[in-house]
Amino acid sequence: MNFELTAEQQLIQDTARRFAAEEIAPTLEQEELKHEFRADRVAKMGSLGFFSCALPEEYGGSGMGFMESVLMAEQIARVSASWRLPFNMQNLGRRSRWRSSARRSRRRSTSAAGSPARSSASSR
């Protein structure tokens, strides 16, 4: 088994590491003392593709996967556990909603095809 990161994964990890060092670390202490939340930073993280990594592209994600999401979260958390939280919640929360939506869609298509639909209680 090969446990080496791919070139793309290394680039993702390096991008997150640089972002954390250049965008979060310099002002982190002051922001935490003042209890500030930087929406502009969240926007920058989004523009770099940090969010929705585990979602397929057809559902609004980047289609990268959980490994890439973990690589990014790890680098952010090395500088600030606080900034890892919105990152993780965005990735994992959207994945849960996507999976629920995909299940509902499969049940609807099965019902439409003439197969008996399962009740929502039995499909959990």
- Contact (Cβ atoms closer than 8 angstroms) between residue 86 and residue 53: no
Residues 61-81: pLDDT tens digits?
A: 788 888 998 899 999 999 999
Q: Is residue 97 one of the residues assigned to a domain?
A: yes
In angstroms, the CA 63 to CA 47 distance is 15
Report the CATH number at residue 55: 1.10.540.10
Most confident of 19-28, 43-52, 53-62, 99-108: 19-28
Q: Is 0.75 surpassed by the pTM of this model? A: no
Q: Is residue 122 one of the residues assigned to a domain?
A: no
Q: Which domain holds residue 59?
A: 7-112
Q: Is residue 118 one of the residues assigned to a domain?
A: no
CA torsion 53-56-62-63 (nearest 10°) is 70
